[in-house]
Amino acid sequence: MTAELFTQYLFAGITYGIIYAIVAIGFNIIYNTTGIINFAQGEFVMLGGMISISLNPLMPLPLAIGCAVLLTTLIGALIEMIFIRWLVHPSVLRMIIITIGISILLREVALHIWGEGVRSLPYFYGNEISSIDILGAHVSPQVLWVVGICSIIVILLSLFFKFTPLGQEMRACSSNRLAATLCGINAKNMVTLSFMLSAGIGALAGCVVSPITYTQYDCGTGLAIKGFTVAVLGGLGNSMAAVAAGLLLGILEAFSIHIVPLAFQDAISISILLLILFIRPHGLFGSSEAAGLKEF
Amino acid sequence: MAVKNYLSVLILIAVVVSIQLATKATDTSYYLTQLTMTGYYSLVIIGLCLVMGYAGQLSLGHAGFFAIGGYTSAVLTTYNLTTLLEQGNGLVRFLSDKGLLISTLDLYGEAVLYINPWPAAIIAVILTASIAFMIGIPVLKLKGHYLAMATLGFGIIIFRIALATEILGEADGISEIPGFTLFPGICVNGDFGNRVMNYYIAWVLVLIGVILLLNLIHSRVGRALRAIHGAEDAANAIGVNTAHYKLYTFVISAVFAAVAGIFLTHYNGGIGPSEAGIMKSVRYVAIVAIGGMASMWGALTMGVLLNFMSLRGMFGSYDDAVFGAIMIIIMLFAPNGLLNLSVWQKISKSAGKEKG
C-alpha cells in the first residue's frame, strides 16, 4: 500500500467514523437519561438529510440545514411525548419493540414522501471533482466540512454537559433520577430534551454527510447498528470514548475494503460488534471492575 | 399434556379442515396458496414464541435461521453435479452410489444431477442447528439491548451474505427449485393441482410443531423456562441450569425456522434475500408480541391473521408501516398481548387490585 493510498483510506475512515461517533453520541444521550436504546436513532440522520434536501431549492443552504435540524428536533420531541413520556416503568423489551416500531414508521413515512430514490445535498464548497491535496491524498473539501462540523458538535456538547445548568441537570438525571427529581429537576422534561438533542445532532450530521454518502429512506438502519457498535465499543454511555471508538471503526472499515469485497463491509463492522459484545461488553475503555456490577 | 391442550389441538385441526372445506364450498381455493405460506410462517412464529415468551429472550435474527435453512436446501437441490460426477469426484460418487442423488433432464435435454431434497433438508437442519448452537453460546449471555442488537447483527450478516454470494444468487436469489417429495405421492411444490395437498402438508407440520412445543412447555423444561423468564437469578440459585435451557430452546426454535424455510422454499420454488431481511425478523417479533409473548395460541392466531392479510396484499404499499404501527400500539396499550386484554383484567385493574 502506498503512502498516498494509506492517507486516502485514512481520510475516508475518519469521515465515516465521525458520523458513526455522532450517531453513537445520540444513543448515549438518550441512554444516559432514560436507560433506553433508541433504535430509531439512525432515522434522525436520514430525516435531517431528506428534509434539508427538500428545503434546499426554496432557501439558501445554511438556512435549509438549520430548518432541517430544527424540524428533526421537533420530531424527536414529539416522538418522546407521544410514545415514551407517559409510560410507567416500561420493561426493556417493551421499549426495544416500541423504538423499533418508531424507526419502521419513520422509514415508511420517508419512503412515501421521498420515494426510493437516492438524493443528496450539493457540496458546501466546490463540487464532486474539486479536491484538496493533503499528504499526497486527494480529499474532497466536503470531508473537511464533515470532520469540522462534527468536531464542533462534540466540543459544544461536552461544554454543554459540563458548564451549562441545563446540561448539569441532565447529567444529574442520568446519575440518579430520583435524587435529581428531589432536587427540583423536572426529570421528564430532561428526557424530552435528550431526545431533542440527539435528534438534532443526528440531523445535522445527516446534512453535512449527505453530499458524500447520499441519503436514502432506508439508510438509517445501517447507521443505527454501526452507531450502536461504536457506542458499545466505547462503553455505553461514555460519549468521549464513542468518538475514539467511532474513528477506530471507521478506519478499520475503510482499510477492510483493501482486503474484502465492498459488499461484506457491513458484515465486518457487525462482526466487530458481536466480538466486542462477547469479549468486552463494557467497551474498550470501560473498567472491567465496574462492568462486574452491571448486567449486559 | 393436559386435557385442555388436547382440546385446543383438536380445535386447531377442526379449524384447519373447515377452512379448507369452506374455500372449496365457496370456490375460493386460491386462498389456499396464501394459507399454505401462512402455515410455514406460523411455524417460525411459534418457534420464536418459545424463545421470546417462555425463555424471555429476544431474537431479532430469526429470519436469518429461516434463510439458512431455505438457502442451504435450495443450493443443494439446484446445484448441478453432472460435471463433478464425470470428473470422478469421490463425494459425488459416494452420494450417487447411496442413491441420494436425483438425475433428470432439463428443458434442453441436458442431464441434470442434483441432491435429493431429503438429505438436503437434513443437512440444512443440521447446519442451522449448529450455527444456532455456536451463535447461541455467546449471544445468550447477553441481556436486553445487547441481546437485541447482537441477534439483529447476526440477522444482518446473514442477509449480507445472501446478497453478496454468487452461489446464493446474490440479489436474484435462487429459483427453479424442484419439489420436495416427502413420501411417494406426497410432494411439496407449487403445482396448481397440489394446492389442497400442500395446504395440509403445511398445517400438519404446524400441528406437529404445536404438539411438540406444548409437550415441551408442560414439561420440566417448560417449568425451568418460566422460572428463567420470571427471575433468572432465582432460577439459577435453585439449581436450574439457565444457560443450558436458554441455548436448548434457542436451537429448537432455530430449527423450527429452518424447517419452515426449507418447506416454503420448495413450495415457492425459489428463495430471495428478502426472506433474510431485517423486516422479516422484526415482523416475526411483532407478531409474537401482539399475540402476547408467552401465549402460543395468541401468537398462532395473530400470525395467521396478519400474515394472511399481508400475503393477500391487503395493506398495499403500507405493509411494513402497518406492522410498525401495530407493534407500537400493542406495546403502548396492551403489552401483554391483544388476547390478554380480557374484561376480567380491566375490571381488576380498575379495582386497583392488580397493576397492569
Residue A102 has a pLDDT of 94
| Structure-block grid coordinates of residue A245 | 471508538
Q: In chain B, positions 146-165, which contact chain A (CB-CB < 8 Å)?
A: 146, 148-150, 152-154, 156-157, 160-161, 163-164
A107 and B320 within 8 Å at the Cβ level: the answer is: yes
Judged by DSSP in three states, B187 sits in strand
A101 and B331 within 8 Å at the Cβ level: the answer is: yes
A273 and B150 within 8 Å at the Cβ level: the answer is: yes
B324 and A278 within 8 Å at the Cβ level: the answer is: no
Helix, strand, coil percentages in chain B from 3-state DSSP, rounded to 5: 75, 5, 20
Minimal Cβ distance to A100: which of B160, B164, B327:
B327
| Alpha carbon separation from A8 to A140, A146, B195 (Å, rounded) | 10, 16, 58
| Structure-block grid coordinates of residue B139 | 449471544
- Greatest distance between any 2 Cα atoms in chain A: 60
Question: How do residues A115-157 score in pLDDT, each as one tens digit?
Answer: 888 888 888 887 777 778 877 778 888 888 899 999 999 999 9
Residue A62 has a pLDDT of 92
Question: Taking CA atoms, what residue in B is nearest to A103?
Answer: B324
Q: Where are the domains of chain B?
A: 3-66+117-336
Four-point Cα dihedral B32, B34, B40, B42, nearest 10: -110
The string of DSSP letters for B99-126 reads: T-EEEEE-TTS-EEEEE-HHHHHHHHHH
Residue A181 CA to chain centroid, in angstroms?
A: 28
| Structure-block grid coordinates of residue B331 | 406495546
- For residues A261 and A270, give the distance between their C-alpha atoms in angstroms, rounded to a whole number: 15
Question: How do residues A214-271 score in pLDDT, each as one tens digit?
Answer: 888 888 888 888 898 899 888 888 888 899 999 999 998 888 888 887 777 778 888 8
In the beta sheet, which residues pair with residue A215? Answer: A119
Handedness of CA B47, B52, B57, B60 (dihedral sign): positive
- For residues B139 and B142, give the distance between their C-alpha atoms in angstroms, rounded to a whole number: 6
Smallest CA–CA distance, residue B164 to chain A, in Å, is 6
- For residues B292 and B334, give the distance between their C-alpha atoms in angstroms, rounded to a whole number: 9
| Structure-block grid coordinates of residue A270 | 457487525
Mean of the per-residue pLDDT values for chain B?
85
Residue A133 has a pLDDT of 80
Q: In chain B, positions 32-71, which contact chain A (CB-CB < 8 Å)?
A: 58, 60
Judged by DSSP in three states, A130 sits in coil
Reported CATH class of domain B3-66+117-336: mainly alpha
Question: How do residues A17-43 score in pLDDT, each as one tens digit?
Answer: 999 999 999 999 998 888 888 999 999
Residue B188: enclosing H or E segment and its boundaries?
strand B186-188
Given the C-alpha cell 453435479, which residue does it identify? B81
Three-class DSSP labels, B227-274: HHHHCHHHHHHCCCCHHHHHHHHHHHHHHHHHHHHHHHHHHHCEECHH
B328 and A101 within 8 Å at the Cβ level: the answer is: yes
DSSP for residue B87? T
A263 and B149 within 8 Å at the Cβ level: the answer is: no
- For residues A41 and A53, give the distance between their C-alpha atoms in angstroms, rounded to a whole number: 19
Domains and CATH numbers, chain A: 3-287 (1.10.3470)
Residue B340 has a pLDDT of 64
- Greatest distance between any 2 Cα atoms in chain B: 79
pLDDT in tens, chain B (356 residues): 566 777 888 888 999 889 888 888 888 888 888 899 999 999 999 999 988 888 888 899 999 999 999 999 999 888 877 777 777 777 777 777 777 777 777 667 677 788 888 989 999 999 999 999 999 988 888 888 888 888 988 998 899 889 888 888 888 888 888 888 888 878 888 777 788 889 999 999 999 999 999 888 888 888 888 888 778 888 888 888 888 888 999 999 999 999 999 999 999 988 999 889 888 999 999 898 888 777 888 888 888 888 888 888 888 888 888 888 988 888 888 877 776 665 445 555 565 544 43
Cβ atoms of residues B165 and B252 within 8 Å: no
